[in-house]
Structure 1
């Protein structure tokens, strides 16, 4: 996620948008970090888990999903917004617009041209299964449990 956020920051620095909207999660690790990291790298406001967004007067009003329901916040632009699946109804492109899009040039940017190093910083040394758990025992009384915890396990 950090390498992606650094790449996105380089593109934002190049393009100078006033608002960046990203998804809230990635399908590879489901970590929900990239939008927040991008906002931190840029020093911008952030609105996370947005399901409604209104822009006006240099600010954004974001209705966001939280554990207890919905929360309304107002943040200054420029900002990074991470979306909830209910933010927008998808629109499907018409065939003429698809054909027009095919003719438009697409700029390809390599990470090194943006000044971003994406070389992995972690090396996996080994992956192995955890050891098998020993089977437990049943005790008949609380006194027996306390005795085993004290004398055999040594935890009390």
Structure 2
């Protein structure tokens, strides 16, 4: 996945995502299929007109499965254990710095 993309370019066999980090710009190459989230600076938004909104309400939505795209959704991580952190012990008030 590529996050906060400010520039996206499709290259041979993958996607190059450029994003801003604290030290400047970082370019990451991803293999497809990939998830890319964008930054506000990627594009100017296009606003839909009312007639197009009304047309879109009537169009059917095709339901797809991951298999339609050739994506394996088998989990790749295994949770070995989950445990709550130990409880904190009660604090003690001291009368002076020397006692501390």
Instruction: Compute the TM-score of the two structures, normalised by the length of structure 1.
Output: 0.38
Structure 1 unaligned residues grouped into runs of 5+: 1-45, 109-146
Is 1:65 matched up with 2:20? yes
Higher strand share: 2
Which of 1, 4, 7 lines up with 1:52 in the alignment? 7
Which of 91, 102, 117 lines up with 2:57 in the alignment? 102
Determine the C-alpha separation between the residues in 1 that align with 2:49 and 2:15. Answer: 30
Structure 2 unaligned residues grouped into runs of 5+: 64-95
Higher helix share: 1
* Cα-Cα RMSD: 2.2
Is 1:80 matched up with 2:25? no
Q: How many residues align structurally?
A: 68
Instruction: Compute the TM-score of the two structures, normalised by the length of structure 2.
Output: 0.56
